[in-house]
Amino acid sequence: QVHLVESGGGLVQAGGSLRLSCAASGRTLSSYAMGWFRQASGKEREFVAGMVWSGGSTNYADSVKGRFTISRDNAKNIVYLQMNSLKPEDTAVYYCAAVTSLKYYSNYGARTSYDYWGQGTQVTVSS
C-alpha cells in the first residue's frame, strides 16, 4: 500500500507559479513511479507529468512541456510539481498517483495504469 497526500494548491494569477508537493509513504518507493494528473471541471482526468522514483527520464504532457517540472526528494519521500507560467486553462484539481515502474513504462499516460491516488489539490489560475 502506498499513501499519497498532496499539498500546495491555491489561487494564482496567470503567469504566476505554484509548487505542488506529494508526500508518499508505505511501501518501498524505489520500485515505483509517480505521476501527476489533473481534472478540470467537466473533463476527463489527464496525465500531466511523471517519473520513475529511482531516477531516469521524466515525461510530460505536451500542454505543460517547458512550463512544468517534476522532481523528487528521496530523503523526504516527496514528489514535486513546479508549475511556472501558469495559464487559466491549467485550472484543475491536481492528483498525485503511484504505480509500479513496470506498469509505468508500459503506459505512463493512462489513468488506469496507476494503483494509488492522493485526494487532490485545487489549482485555480485567474486571468
Q: Can you give the pLDDT at residue 28?
A: 78
Cell numbers that stand for 73 in this block: 526528494
Q: Cα(106)–Cα(41) distance, rounded to whole angstroms?
A: 28
Cβ atoms of 95 and 36 closer than 8 Å: yes
Question: Where residue 54 falls among pLDDT bands split at 50, 70, 90?
Answer: confident
Q: Can you give the pLDDT at residue 27?
A: 74
Q: 82-124, pLDDT tens digit by residue?
A: 999 999 999 999 999 999 999 999 999 999 999 999 999 999 9
Instruction: Provide φ and ψ at 63, rounded to 5°.
Output: -70, -15
* Nearest Cα residue to 64 out of 85, 92, 34: 85
User: In this model, does residue 17 exceed pLDDT 80?
Assistant: yes
- Average pLDDT of the residues of the chain: 95
* Nearest Cα residue to 77 out of 17, 27, 111: 27
Q: Cα(87)–Cα(1) distance, rounded to whole angstroms?
A: 35
